[in-house]
Amino acid sequence: MGYDAVVFDNDGVLVEPTDWDVIRAAIREAFNEVGVVEPADEHVERLIGVTVDDVHAVADAYDLDPHELWEARDTAGSRHQSELVRNGGKSLFPDVAALSRISRPMGVVSNNQHATVETIVDHYELEEHFDVVYGRQPTIEDVANKKPEPFYLNKALDEIGVEDAIYVGDSVKDIEVARRVGVDAAFVRRSHNDGVELPHEPELEVSDLERLADAIE
């Protein structure tokens, strides 16, 4: 498997997924910042796995500016997750050590906020491994660029300067974005996604990053 580059998802691949209660707390804090003290539970839930339409619908329910609401929500989400990282509540998977065995350009493309991903890379001193790191900006427009949209994976590959790559993820969206871009996909099946059924078979399925490095090096 002689790929020219390897690009990784972040949450669930390099670091533990964030507990959804952390995101819910961040969303409630964001509502408070824009003047909504007791948001409905259904609106909090709708701002978790979110689309552009979700943001507009929730903003309309409270007569809010959707751009202001989303910036508050995403900034709070990044702040809470960054605090979690620094306090030891969002750890690296031990097999991330296998990155040192991969002898080709590497990158990160995540649906999480760019500020959150940067905090993770900095806190865990991963800079030496990655040529590019991309996450979302805190704008409604960038919600539309989330995977499986190919925007950031294409951007990362363009910056690295390669076309023949493999994208390593832990979700159906990760497999789909690889297909849309036209690169191979590797699925890391860990305890948090053990029961996930994949609509498309990835080129590679592994239980950890050590086995990924074995397969591609």
CA neighbours within 13 Å on the CB side: how many for 168? 28
Residue 13 pLDDT class (50, 70, 90 cuts): very high
- Kindly list the domain boundaries of the chain, sorted by start residue: 5-17+90-216, 20-86
Looking at residue 209, what is its pLDDT? 98
Residue 217 pLDDT class (50, 70, 90 cuts): confident
Q: How many residues does the chain have?
A: 217
Q: What is the pLDDT of residues 47-79, one digit of tens each?
A: 998 899 999 999 999 999 999 999 999 999 999
- Matching CATH number, 5-17+90-216, of 3.40.50.1000, 3.30.420.40, 3.90.1150.10, 3.40.80.10: 3.40.50.1000
pLDDT at 129 over 90: yes
pTM for the predicted model, two decimal places: 0.95
Helix axes 52-61, 66-86, angle to 10 degrees: 110
